A = this chain, B = another copy of it.
Amino acid sequence: MLKLSDLNVCSKDDFVAALANVFEYSPWVAGQAAALRPFAGAGQLLAAMTAAVERAPDELRLALIRAHPDLASKTQRAASLTAESGAEQNSAGLDRLSDAEYEAFERANSAYRSKFGFPYIVCVRRHTRDSVLRDFERRLPNDAKTEAQASIVEICRIAALRLDQLVASDDKLPVHGRLSTHVLDTHSGRPAAGISVELTELSDLGEPRVVARATTNQDGRTDQPLIGGRPVPIGRYELTFNVGAYFADRGVPMSDPPFLDRIPLRFSVSDPEGHLHVPLLVTPWGYATYRGS
């Protein structure tokens, strides 16, 4: 990572080179921000760059929008994706789509491009496959002006995440969310240690995708959040807890087969930058969950 303190003092050329792709194929944004150095923090740097975009003339903003690739396009994958765009699309699983999903994305891209004349842009690191398609359906009926503005908003979100990964600074950009869990064994009145937990991203058109596996520690929590240090993608999830094995290991009397074995909690994430806590209170005969904080 680059240090903000170094970026504050290097040559303008070096500065622009370093931040050229924070806005896709658009080094001019960094170029305008360079003049405003030094920056007290990453937040100030981001603000300077987004301000440059906001005040740019319409044609330039449109060119910025058009500089972005189509989502999940096989043709573009082989060719012109920036490393950043590629990594972002992979993070959402867009490189491993089912046939039905590919088709849905292609349909979405063409419909959008033919209506507006520019590609559909969304900050995919804040989304799952399903929520991208859902977002597309919501935006397609809009008019071009609304969509141009919506695209700029998404582009700035993409830029914030790229900057967060690129530049080390004392302040933290508010781009990270967290998804955590906690298992409390209300049969014995203790945190439940040693429970295997699995987090799966669900999809309407494709296969579910396991995105985290962990085992609860002595405090009934996982050592790391299930998702952390990045946005929690908007979407539907299933979190399963292997409580049958846990209670069997402890010699707790149960029915055969056990009334509860693998408990699934199904929920949606709507706020990628929020802290979502999904705990489980459990005995062999019942359980409760709720959106915690």
Interface size class of A (residues with CB under 8 A): 35 or more
A189-B236 in contact (CB<8A): no
11 A-B pairs within 8 Å (CB atoms) are namely A184-B290, A186-B285, A189-B284, A236-B261, A255-B270, A257-B270, A260-B266, A263-B266, A264-B264, A264-B266, A288-B288
Assembled-state Cα–Cα distance A283/B252 (Å): 14
Answer whether residue A113 sits at the interface, using C-beta atoms and an 8 A cutoff: no
Report the copy number of this chain in the oligomer: 4
CB contacts (< 8 Å) of A281 on chain B: these are: 286, 288, 290
Given A288-B288, A293-B191, A261:B266 Cβ within 8 A: yes
* Whole-angstrom CA separation of A289 from B281 in the bound complex: 10
Tell me if A107 counts as interface (CB < 8 A to partner B).
no
Whether B259 and A189, one on each chain, are in contact in the complex, defined by CB atoms closer than 8 angstroms, is: yes
Q: How far is the CA of A285 from the CA of B270 in the complex (A)?
A: 13
Residues of B within 8 A of A293 (CB): 184, 190-191, 219-220
B257 touches A291 (CB 8 A): no
CA distance A167 to B134 in the complex (A): 57
Count chain B CB atoms within 10 A of each CB in A189, A264, A270 and give the residue with the most: A189
With A and B bound together, what is the CA distance between A291 and B260 in angstroms? 10
* Residues 246 to 272 of chain A near chain B (Cβ within 8 Å): 253, 255-264, 266-268, 270-271
Residues of B within 8 Å of A189, CB to CB, are 255, 259, 283-286, 290-291
Of A220, A270, A271, which is in contact with the most chain B CB atoms at under 10 Å from its CB? A270
CB distance from A61 to the nearest CB of B (A): 28
Q: Which residues of B contact A291 (CB under 8 A)?
A: 186, 189, 259, 285-286
- Out of B134, B270, B289, which one reaches A286, CB within 8 Å? B289
